[in-house]
Amino acid sequence: MKEEILSKYPDLKDVSDLKEVIWLNPKILPYEEAAQRINMNIAAIDDAEKRLEKFAPLIEKVFPETRPSHGIIESPLKVISKMKDKIEDTYGFYSPGRFLLKMDSHLAIAGSIKARGGIYEVLKHAESLALEAGLLKEDNDYSIMAEPKFRDFFSKYKIQVGSTGNLGLSIGITSAALGFNVIVHMSADAKQWKKDLLRAKGATVIEYESDYSIAVEEGRKASDRDPMSYFVDDENSMNLFMGYSVAAKRLKRQLDDLNIIVDEDHPMLVYLPCGVGGAPGGITYGLKSVYKDNVHCFFVEPTHAPCMLIGMATGLHNEISVQDLGIDGKTHADGLAVGRPSKLVGKMMDYVLGGVITVDDYKLYDYMRFLHETENIDIEPSACAAFEGFVKLENTIEGKKYIKRHNLENNMKNAVHIAWATGGSLVPEEINKQFLATYLR
């Protein structure tokens, strides 16, 4: 299988040899053409944003930690100049642009990017059930869904999900808080502390010795057998995807507040850690709808689990796995330990994604230490993959090719780079110390 694939796609040789690469997407199109090919649905993004605003009173009531933001779950955007200096000193280059951290690592409730799509999908499902049963009307104050009669009603239903960790936390915590019976099917690479936290919140956790794909497959089967069960499908869910996409408009407001311009003369480059692809795909979809050709998005994957790169480079998407190339899929970036990409997301990204970058595991811990030391911010190792995007784009031949191909050379001095931190604030302090003390070379 490996030899057959490499004979057809020789450019994947370095990927199969576990070398770090930057793959530039040859199919990327100008926004207006791309939007027609993938049916860019701005109305669906607006609808998701409005629904989250409608649910804000309920979120505020059920999760008191969201009171300061009145039930709106959003993360800080922080300029990280000291981190930028440290990365440049370490790798021997200089970028004149600005460098920011989008701290989805610190989103309320779930402590990760999965708070966006996961919470949205659970709330949308709860709304559908309650409307259908006549317990809720669309013009109600949705905070009534915190009342005991709703908890009793939701307790008749199950929500199930397959996860390496963070989506499970998002779905599990939210579902249990509303009264649902929730079952999280977790792969072997899921961290023990995430399983423990889920159980403490009232979720049932089923563990598998296999990888993420098996956990999802078994969870889907178990849910399909139960007419009272709803499966949150990380590989194919448009609800998850749209929940993530709402981030783009909110980011725009944050950039405006910082007086940061994004236009033809001021490009924005965004680096997103990628597992199965749902979260980075949804955010890219939203960002392209807002900023069009002035934003350039890149996914970053571990060298041992580059599923989206392989799926997009071959055009086979979910019909190929990293194991088909002889890659084991085992990585310290547990949230990115996925062997087979999302069919939905890969096809949506075909014409809008700038490229995919891979990173060695040892660097994740290095970047984690850099951020801790320079900015006093702690995020989990998988989230640190984002920093490699900045390095690869600014400090490699392939990265410079992308800059030249897209006529960005004269404007990189005005660029804004955003590393999207995808998780970390719920990591127990003791585990965080272990991460900071981990050296892989």
Residue pLDDT, tens place only, 417-426: 999 999 999 9
* 235 band by pLDDT with thresholds 50, 70 and 90: confident
Report the mean per-residue pLDDT for the chain.
Answer: 96
Calpha distance 428→110 (Å, rounded) = 13
Structure tokens at 408: 């960005």
Q: At what angle do helices 42-62 and 247-257 cross, to 10 degrees?
A: 80
Give the residue extent of every domain in the chain: 2-110+241-436, 114-237
Render pLDDT for 278-303 as a digit per residue (tens, 0 to 9).
999 999 999 999 999 999 999 999 99
For the chain, the first-to-last Cα distance in angstroms comes to 31
Domain 2-110+241-436 matching CATH 3.40.50.1100: the answer reads: yes
DSSP code, position 438: -
Given this model, what pLDDT does residue 108 score? Answer: 95
Average pLDDT estimate for 179-194: 92
Render pLDDT for 155-165 as a digit per residue (tens, 0 to 9).
999 999 998 88
Calpha distance 268→178 (Å, rounded) = 38
Given this model, what pLDDT does residue 272 score? Answer: 98
* 189 band by pLDDT with thresholds 50, 70 and 90: confident
Given this model, what pLDDT does residue 398 score? Answer: 97
Residues in the chain: 441
* 112 band by pLDDT with thresholds 50, 70 and 90: very high
Given this model, what pLDDT does residue 99 score? Answer: 98
CATH of domain 114-237: 3.40.50.1100
Average pLDDT estimate for 197-203: 94
Given this model, what pLDDT does residue 210 score? Answer: 83
- pLDDT of 352 over the 90 cut: yes
Average pLDDT estimate for 229-247: 93
Judge whether 13 and 19 are in contact, CB under 8 Å. Answer: no
Calpha distance 332→46 (Å, rounded) = 36
Q: Do domains 2-110+241-436 and 114-237 have the same CATH topology?
A: yes
- pLDDT of 187 over the 90 cut: no
Query: Which strands, in side-by-side order, build the sheet including 204-207?
Result: 204-207, 181-186, 158-163, 229-232
- pLDDT of 127 over the 90 cut: yes
Judge whether 377 and 100 are in contact, CB under 8 Å. Answer: no
* 234 band by pLDDT with thresholds 50, 70 and 90: confident
Given this model, what pLDDT does residue 247 score? Answer: 97
- pLDDT of 40 over the 90 cut: no
Residues 6+ apart with CB under 8 A from 253: none
Calpha distance 238→345 (Å, rounded) = 9
- pLDDT of 330 over the 90 cut: yes
Residue 18 identity: L
